[in-house]
Amino acid sequence: MKNISKKIIIGNWKMNLSYKDSVILGKKIINNLKGKRIKNEVVILPDFSALSSISQIIKKPLVLGAQDIAKNKLGAYTGEVSLESLKQLNCSYILIGHSERRQYFFDDEMIADKMKNVLENSNITPILCIGETLGQKRSGKTLLVLEKQIKTAFSKVGKLTNKKIIIAYEPVWAIGTGRIITVADAIVIHKKIKSLVEKICHNNLPKELGIIYGGSININNFSNFKDCSDISGLLIGGTSLKAGDFLNIVNNF
C-alpha cells in the first residue's frame, strides 16, 4: 500500500451556497488555476445542483467531486443521486460518511453500502470521513470509534488492491467550531488510522491510501499541517467558500 502520490486539498462547500453562487465561486477558482502547474491535487465539492454546470466549465488542474452518493444503483429511490450520473459528470471523488450526513441522514451501516457501490462500480475515489465526537474524545474512546468506523466502512467492499482511497480524519468537535487538533495529535491519529487499515484490510490492501485532516482549517493554521508525511492533505469546509483563502492554501500547502 503506497501513499497517494500527490497531496490533496479538497473544498467541501456543503449546502452553504445557492446554485448561482456555487457557479460564481467555481468560475473564480477555475479561472485562477486554469493551466497552472500545481503540485497538489485540488478538488471542489459543490452541492448536487451545481455539479452539472461546473462540470461543463471545469479545467485541469482542478477536479470535481460530490458530497455523497446513493447506496443503490439506478431505481426508485426518490431524492437520491446515482453513481451513474456522477460518472457522467466526470466526478473524480465522492465524499462518503461526512459527520453531518452521519448525524442527520443515515447510519454507519449505510456507509458500507455506499463504499461498496463506488468501489465496485466505478473508478471514482471515495473520500471516507471518520472522526469522534467531543464526548467520545473526553471518554477516551477516539481510537475505538475510529476502528469501528473503518471496520464498518470496509465490511462489504470487494477487491481493493487496484484502488485508491482517501480517509479524511475529521474530529466532529473540530468541524466548524474553530477548535483545532494539534499537529502532534493529528500525526499520532493518522499513523493509527493507517495501521487500522492495514489490520482490517490485511490481505486486501488498497493500492494507494491518503489520510487527510479536516476541521476548522483556515489561512492561519493550514501551514502547521504542511510537510508532515503522515498528513496527505486537507478537507476544508468554511474556508473553501472564500476563493482567495482557498487558493492561498492550494498554492502554499
Catalytic center residues: 98, 170
| CB of residue 158 to ligand PGA, shortest distance in Å | 28
Longest dimension (CA), the chain: 49
| CB of residue 176 to ligand PGA, shortest distance in Å | 4
- In the bound state with ligand PGA, the residue whose beta carbon lies nearer, of 154 and 173, is 173
- In the bound state with ligand PGA, the residue whose beta carbon lies nearer, of 230 and 245, is 245
Residue nearest to ligand PGA (CB): 237
- From the list 54, 53, 52, 86, the residue with the least C-alpha distance to 69 is 86
| CB of residue 77 to ligand PGA, shortest distance in Å | 25
Residues that bind ligand PGA (CB under 6 A): 12, 170, 175-176, 214-217, 235-239
Q: Which residues contact 31 (CB under 8 A, 6 or more apart)?
A: none
123 with 83: CB under 8 angstroms? no
Cα 52-172-124 angle, rounded to 5 deg? 35
- In the bound state with ligand PGA, the residue whose beta carbon lies nearer, of 26 and 214, is 214
- Count CA atoms closer than 13 A to 74's CA, side-chain side: 4
| CB of residue 162 to ligand PGA, shortest distance in Å | 27
- In the bound state with ligand PGA, the residue whose beta carbon lies nearer, of 15 and 24, is 15
231 with 225: CB under 8 angstroms? yes
